[in-house]
Structure 1
Amino acid sequence: MKYLSIEDLEENIAVVKLTESYHKDLSPLQLYDISRGCWKNKLETFQKVKVVLAVHSFIVQEVYAVDKWLPATELHRETIPFDSEQEKGRIGFSGQVAPDEIRKKYIFCSVKDLFKNGNRHPIMAFLSKEINKEKKKWTERARTLSSEINDLHLRGMDTDAVVKVRINQGVFRDRLLQKYSHCCLCNVSNIDLLIASHIKPWKDSEEDERLDMDNGFLLCPNHDKLFDNGFISFDNTGRIIVSEKLDQVNCVYMNVQSDMKIDINNGNKKYLEYHREHILHKKN
């Protein structure tokens, strides 16, 4: 399954969470009607949204191209009785199933990575302008942290150690905790044991990569150490790759199994390619 990241959103998109109104036997028209309204939001917030992802249990069930956002009282949904009190002050959209070139990018993908744990909003907009603004903010934070570390005049492993400490005291770890809440590999969930682990090391990353959430996994101490030191990596499906330098005895002690797998998104893949090429210990 593909896990969507912010970088995968090529259009101005709204994600609609379908809850008790959804069931697998809905007709296409019924699915369309429950997906297009109605919410207590301002029209101007969504006017730039051109694509809607209808989602149940974080999986995209359908993709719609928006013709128009309008007050819910003007929706005239065919399969849902009109209720003026329920729809007053709410909004919705009219449109149709998106063209194949757009639909195939999102249908049946997971949007779990787009939401922080505990997010209960039934609809959220992801606008390209705001996404770019968010990226610039994290690039600036990375630049500031780099400057602070450089001012310490450290070298080699000392620099790596300081980066690890600073990252695990800061916002990068907090964001990964919100995204994962447990070790990506073994499900250890005690937050005092979890470590923010870069996929592509800080020293090798560009400024816009250093605090990119797609350049990190949340790992327990054992798996963080193995990943950082190239004893394990992951392929582009998330399946574990075990270096030949890690023998079977230590695999047992370190809780490494050949059938382990993590959830990854498209944004993780470029960093994993770097990790496999430059960090993973390969056969001599």
Structure 2
Amino acid sequence: MDEIRRDLGSEDTIYINDLPDDSILININNTYVKDMALIDMYDATRACWRIADPRKKRLKYAIAIYKSVIKQVFIPEAWLPGDSTLRRFTTLADKQNPPNPEKKSIRWEFVGRVADDRQDLVGKRILDLPNGLQNPCVYSNSLKRKLRRS
């Protein structure tokens, strides 16, 4: 049981209101593997997401979440249309929806780096993260607004 808690990071907890503003939380449940390399976690987190044009939101952080536990925090330096850059793996969704330069992009990816200033979040379980969110990507500001209304 201790090993499961350690793997999930359930010893330390955090609430949505403690998350940095202007962040996007990205659920990597389908691609996360225990002890995965940082570059693989980066690729799993950064691409390819069906979201509104993220360049307009000025997102400060992209937070990789696995089963409500923060696995890593990245700083997106630039957002590009999906499949604009090389990645170590490609998902089935990417293959089914190849980029079309004639169409406005509906999938996005970022190029960035590890957020050294927010490593204090890594390993913390988000206690009030809603279950069953429809989209694997959710904005911290949206979650905070929903909490204030309820």
Decide which of 110, 113, 123 is 2:128's aligned counterpart.
113
Work out the percentage of aligned pairs sharing the same amino acid. 23
* CA deviation string 1:55-111 (max 9, x = no partner): 11111111111101221121322x124956435331111101111x3221x111112
Partners of 2:112 and 2:133 lie apart in 1 by 27
Partners of 1:24 and 1:134 lie apart in 2 by 32
Q: Report if the CA contact (8 A) 1:4-1:114 is conserved.
A: no
Q: Aligned Cα RMSD in Å?
A: 2.7
Decide which of 49, 60, 65 is 1:55's aligned counterpart.
65
Decide which of 80, 84, 90 is 1:70's aligned counterpart.
80
Q: Report if the CA contact (8 A) 1:59-1:110 is conserved.
A: yes
* CA deviation string 1:18-69 (max 9, x = no partner): 1221111321111111111111112147632110111111111111111012
Partners of 1:63 and 1:93 lie apart in 2 by 13
1:127 Cα deviation after fit: 2.9
Q: Report if the CA contact (8 A) 2:62-2:76 is conserved.
A: yes
Q: TM-score, normalised by structure 1?
A: 0.41
- Quick check: which one's strand share is greater? 2
What is the DSSP-based 3-state SS (H/G/I as helix, E as strand, rest coil) of the residue aligned with 1:114?
A: coil
Higher relative contact order (CA 8 A, sep 6+): 2
Q: Report if the CA contact (8 A) 1:43-1:70 is conserved.
A: no
**Aligned counterpart, 2:114:** 97
- Quick check: which one's helix share is greater? 1
Letter in 2 for 1:7: N
Q: Report if the CA contact (8 A) 1:3-1:113 is conserved.
A: no
Letter in 2 for 1:93: F
**Aligned counterpart, 2:97:** 86
What is the DSSP-based 3-state SS (H/G/I as helix, E as strand, rest coil) of the residue aligned with 1:93?
A: strand
Letter in 2 for 1:26: M
Q: Return structure 1 stretches of 4+ with deviation > 6 angstroms.
A: none
Q: Report if the CA contact (8 A) 1:16-1:54 is conserved.
A: yes
Trace 1:9-48 onto structure 2 (pairs within 5 A): 9-44=19-54, 47-48=57-58
**Aligned counterpart, 2:139:** 125
Letter in 1 for 2:136: P
User: Structure 1 stretches of 5 or more lacking a match?
Assistant: 139-174, 176-284
What is the DSSP-based 3-state SS (H/G/I as helix, E as strand, rest coil) of the residue aligned with 1:3?
A: strand
Partners of 1:22 and 1:98 lie apart in 2 by 19
Letter in 2 for 1:126: S
* CA deviation string 1:196-251 (max 9, x = no partner): xxxxxxxxxxxxxxxxxxxxxxxxxxxxxxxxxxxxxxxxxxxxxxxxxxxxxxxx
Q: Measured at CA, do residues 16 and 46 of structure 1 come closer, stay the same or move farther in structure 2, by a change above 3 Å? A: farther
